[in-house]
Amino acid sequence: MQIKEVAERLNTTTRSIRFYEQKGLISPGKDTENDYRTFTENDILRLSTILALREIGMSVKNIKGILENPDMSIKGYLNIQRSALFEKWIEMKDMINTIDQMMEKTNSEAFSVNQIFELSRHLKNMKKLRKDWEDKWNFDSQAEGYDQNIKMAGYRFNVHQDYEKALSKIKETIELHPNDICVDIGVGTGNLGSKFLDDGVRIIGVDQSEEMLKVCQEKHPSIETRKGHFLALPLLDNQVDGVVSSYALHHIPDSEKLLALEEMTRVLKDDGQLCIVDLMFPDDNTRAEVIEPFEKQGNAEAIYAIEDEFYANQSVLVKWLTANKYKVETHQFNDILSMLYATRE
Ligand SMILES: C[S@@+](CC[C@H](N)C(=O)[O-])C[C@H]1O[C@@H](n2cnc3c(N)ncnc32)[C@H](O)[C@@H]1O
């Protein structure tokens, strides 16, 4: 297809298309004789993704980072568009809530302009948190070897001790029925979500890593994979019957974990259930007690593994869930691994 027709069909201008070409975001083939550009289906998909991301205010530089892979599949492009739109939608909802709160406050006599500043600071912080998370572990590069690697015990510390037991425990604990919708956050290669497929449960696997989603999709075609992250789940409000997650929450800092629980609550139906297995300590004292012997033994491998990630303080999560009307049960598998099962009261 020629540039003029592409511009017309995508509701843009030939000038914008040339601009994205100049910036290296697209590279349509060019006729060597007359320099006319020819757009393939892939160029058009890429361009429509660029336009959607620009529409929500993403910079050309960030788009370039996201669209690094020139051979992404149609699903990959659409997944990126959906995830970005959800992020924007959640941001808009936050803004509307903030304005509602401001309006309520204007009714009170104690209202001062400082409250407006405080609320807009809150908005800015939320936006920053959603945008700033970085995959410092490079899960894209781990995707192919992930299933093999979790079977190998570490030299002096094994984070995957009780892995199978823990995933099976989630399956045994959460009560899901045929046609229920359950989201598996940080789905990875689908080891947890796939346990529910034989029961007719519809599993939506969310992950920030496209490569993990690709492996998951190859292994378990019935899992619907969606790009997204803990603080901006690509799901509507009150949409799912269950939220499950294994070995993923410890990749976000403690300051964001409660926001992640809030986001899970947003997508859960009123009678929904939440079941999370992760690396966590019952509380800060236990954390110190577990780390102390490693220090005495000079077990740097264990200390590095714990400190490189964000093992949760379970008591903080339980306190938040209880305050938000969940009934919570916990189960500890070993010193560093526990499960939280929460149901709405
Ligand atoms: C250790 S793997 C666990 C995978 C799988 N749940 C399992 O139990 O085998 C962690 C997964 O969480 C994903 N992840 C990490 N941080 C995330 C975030 N903020 N939002 C969504 N997924 C995240 C990673 O991309 C990776 O696939």
Residue 98 pLDDT grade (very low, low, confident, very high; cuts 50, 70, 90): confident
Q: Average the pLDDT over 9-20 and give the result.
A: 93
The verdict on 121 and 146 lying in the same domain is no
Among 26-30, 100-104, 160-164, the least confident range = 100-104
Ligand 1 mean position, distance from CA 205 (Å):
10
pLDDT at 154: 63
- Domain boundary residue among 66, 94, 118? 66
The verdict on 125 and 144 lying in the same domain is no
The verdict on 108 and 218 lying in the same domain is no
Residue 139 Cα: closest atom of ligand 1? 25
The phi and psi torsions of 56 (rounded to 5 degrees) equal -95, 15
**Full domain range(s) for residue 47:** 3-66
14 or 104, greater pLDDT: 14
The verdict on 10 and 29 lying in the same domain is yes
The verdict on 238 and 290 lying in the same domain is yes
The answer to whether the CB of 209 falls within 8 A of the CB of 146 is no
Is pLDDT of 108 > 90?
no
The span from the CA of 35 to the CA of 73, in Å, is 27
Among 44, 98, 56, 106, smallest CA distance to 81 is for: 56
Q: Average the pLDDT over 282-295 and give the result.
A: 92
Residue 155 pLDDT grade (very low, low, confident, very high; cuts 50, 70, 90): low
pLDDT at 130: 76
The verdict on 57 and 93 lying in the same domain is no
How confident is the model over 111-141, as pLDDT tens digits? 777 777 777 787 788 777 777 778 889 999 9
The span from the CA of 210 to the CA of 144, in Å, is 12
The verdict on 264 and 212 lying in the same domain is yes
Beta bridge pairs of residue 183: 204, 243
The protein residue whose alpha carbon is closest to atom 16 in ligand 1 is 251
Residue 243 pLDDT grade (very low, low, confident, very high; cuts 50, 70, 90): very high
H or E segment at 259? helix 254-267
Q: How many domains does the chain have?
A: 3
Report the mean per-residue pLDDT for the chain: 90
How confident is the model over 256-277, as pLDDT tens digits? 999 999 999 999 999 999 999 9
The verdict on 31 and 117 lying in the same domain is no
Please report whether residue 74 resides in a domain.
no
Residue 109 pLDDT grade (very low, low, confident, very high; cuts 50, 70, 90): low
The verdict on 314 and 176 lying in the same domain is yes
Ligand 1 mean position, distance from CA 187 (Å):
6
22 or 59, greater pLDDT: 22
The protein residue whose alpha carbon is closest to atom 25 in ligand 1 is 209
* Ligand 1 binding pocket mutation candidate from 207, 210, 230 (most atoms within 8 A of CB): 207
pLDDT at 283: 94
The verdict on 117 and 239 lying in the same domain is no
The verdict on 188 and 231 lying in the same domain is yes
